[in-house]
Amino acid sequence: MPKAAAARGQRSQTGGMVPGGAAALLLGALGVVYGDIGTSPLYTLQTAFTADNGAVVPTPVNVYGVVSLIFWAITIVVSVKYVSLIMRADNRGEGGILALTALIEDTGPRRARAKAVLVSLGILGAALFYGDGTITPAISVLSAVEGLQIVEPSLSAWVVPVTVAVLTALFAIQRYGTAVVGRMFGAVMLAWFLTLAVLGAAEVARHPGILRALSPYYAWQFFRTDGWTAFLSLSSVVLAVTGAEALYADMGQFGQPPIRRAWFLLVFPALILNYLGQGSLVLRTPSAVTNPFYLLVPSTLQLPMVFLATAATVIASQAVITGAFSVTYQAMRLGYLPRLSIRHTPGGQQGRVYVPVVNHVLFVTVTGLVLAFGSSAALASAYGVAVTATFLLNTTLFLVVARTRWHTRRTVIALIGVMLLSVETMFFTASLTKIAHGGWLPLTLAAFVYTVMATWRQGRQIVDRYRAQHDRSVEHLLRDSAASTPPPQQVPGTAVFLASAPGAAPGALAANVLINHIVHRDVIVMTVRDDRRAHVPDADQLTARVTHDAAPRVTHLDVRVGYRDRLDIQAMLRKATSRRLLAPDIDLSEPAYFLTREVAVNSPAPTMPRWRKQVYLFLSRNAADQVEHFKLPLHRTVVMNEETPL
């Protein structure tokens, strides 16, 4: 990758700090980002040797081969692809497949059709993330609670009720933000990774021959000896990297440096040491495949290990939950979802958000999966199909960004593409064998989410085109109204109108002038535009211009806000006054605020299939309240509806 591209990736990461500095960020990343991938040693190797759809016989060749596949899967997919390469493709500090999609929309291929296809792939990737993301909390918490059966088998009847209770508590604390959750969970995950490393290193020290599995020769020998079994084992090996996409999606929560440091300094070596230790144990005692993780633990420490593993597996769902918040926020900002209620949570680090509706939907879906499947073993067969498809999609989009935005040489693109896409294609095709065993579930959920996002995006494009064709400028509106009979009556005071596009007359202003026949002495037309930076510098936040200095006096105020900036219209007006962007005699003691609520209505025009129109209309009707979104005073705010045919 060119040095300039790497530099851009670093500069775009603004990286605010939470209390406690870099150490607190690293600890928070351990708790929030690495929970899913960090608990994979509990079941990955065991699944490879006990899976229903192609269990591997624990011969020396097969054990070395499986451990080698796990090592190189983690190295290529996580260390090389995500941590070293793809995290450079951030969108003003945010990660995830929608960040790649936004970069392609900005500087992607020139051909409109090619860009549209790539954007559709990005939306599909985000939908697949949701599909697989609903399974992760369910299987993680179920695995945690099922560990209690090792202590007391008679507790098996309580597994599902306790799981639902734990999930309820887990989703309830999300409103307090990832800073609180991350610090609380980070300490547990620090102990978890240190324990993984110690257990694995102790076994490797007794039998250092297992280190030979780090050579790719043993993975090749495994395929050469029994190619079909080795291929099927990939559907189990992929469990070791299923948390990688959440790692990228959560980048906006903590920033690149803490995530990279946590991975290379602790998480990566701890995981590899533990997998090597489990492989060594299976070589010595083939019967240990029934549970190589717990049998690696000395018998006197197995009970404490059950509790630590229980806590760590509960934490594993956190990475997906926060990742879902990040992806949803990006989707809303990029126009793939309607306006949702968003809360910026405490902590000071960029991109920390809590999305109540997503939290509620995830909770209902995840608990429904727990009640329907009843065990982690039943859910395991559905795990991995969607996430491997996401791997392929974001690799494809990353290669496009590297070529079109960074102008990376074609030979470099080809080398990276062959390495990543060949590995991920094998994982994806191997995971397809799970579809009949439950893999259809995340694909069905992803199809639903994709339909919603694609429908909303297409509907917005239709509505925006209509508005661009029919909206008049403010000056045109006032000129026509002044010539009408009777002309609008001028009333004292200041009216603030929120506009969707610079220069366009808001529907509420047109209604005031043409229907109510009044116009305020001072009219401020504000256009709020989201910026893809975390913070917009104070000097760039506001620009103003007066386009009509006679009565009524019209001032256009353009506002730019970053995704970490709090959007407060009243505060922006005060700032504009203090910076003398508004006339000194404008009365802002009690201005009236006017919002235009766009009401999409079904039309006979064949713009979209009828059922998709109904989906768009439903989403539009249930969008978040504009008054709350802009933090306007209820007693001085008027909302006017404006119909727009769809």
- Does residue 308 share a domain with residue 169? yes
**Could you write out the three-class secondary structure of 570-617?**
HHHHHHHHHCCCCCCCCCCCCCEEEEEEEEEECCCCCCCCHHHHHHHH
Residue 147: its pLDDT value, please? Answer: 66
Residue where a domain terminates, one of 376, 410, 427: 376
Residue 215 backbone dihedrals phi, psi, to 5 degrees: -80, 135
The range of the structural domain enclosing residue 569 comes to 472-645
Residue where a domain terminates, one of 335, 352, 376: 376
Q: Is residue 242 part of a domain?
A: yes
Q: Is 180 buried (19+), middle (13-18) or exposed (0-12) by CB count in 10 A?
A: middle
Q: Is residue 241 part of a domain?
A: yes
- Does residue 623 share a domain with residue 507? yes
Q: Is residue 110 part of a domain?
A: no
Q: Is residue 4 part of a domain?
A: no
Residue 150: its pLDDT value, please? Answer: 62
Q: Is residue 405 part of a domain?
A: no
Residue where a domain terminates, one of 340, 359, 376: 376
* Residues above pLDDT 70, as percent of the chain: 90
Number of domains in the chain: 2
**Cβ atoms < 10 Å from Cβ of 563:** 25
Q: Is residue 318 part of a domain?
A: yes
Residue 2: its pLDDT value, please? Answer: 43
Q: Is residue 271 part of a domain?
A: yes
Q: How far apart are CA 358 and CA 412, in angstroms?
A: 39
Question: Are 60 and 218 contacting, i.e. CB atoms less than 8 angstroms apart?
Answer: no
pLDDT along the chain (646 residues), means of 10: 40 38 74 82 86 79 95 95 88 76 76 84 87 81 72 77 88 72 75 95 94 95 92 90 79 80 93 96 90 86 84 77 78 82 61 80 90 77 83 92 89 94 94 84 89 90 82 82 79 88 83 86 87 71 80 86 74 88 86 87 83 89 82 87 82
DSSP states of 241-274: GTTHHHHHHTHHHH-HHHHHHHIIIIIHHHHHHH
Tokens (6 digits) for 79: 């260390």
Element (H, E) at 498: strand 489-499
Prediction pTM value: 0.79
Q: Is the peptide bond before 58 cis (omega within 30 degrees of 0)?
A: no
Residue 18: its pLDDT value, please? Answer: 39
Residue 399: its pLDDT value, please? Answer: 93
- Does residue 222 share a domain with residue 73? yes
Residue 271: its pLDDT value, please? Answer: 97
- Does residue 486 share a domain with residue 368? no
**Cβ atoms < 10 Å from Cβ of 119:** 21
Q: Is residue 272 part of a domain?
A: yes
Residue 428: its pLDDT value, please? Answer: 93
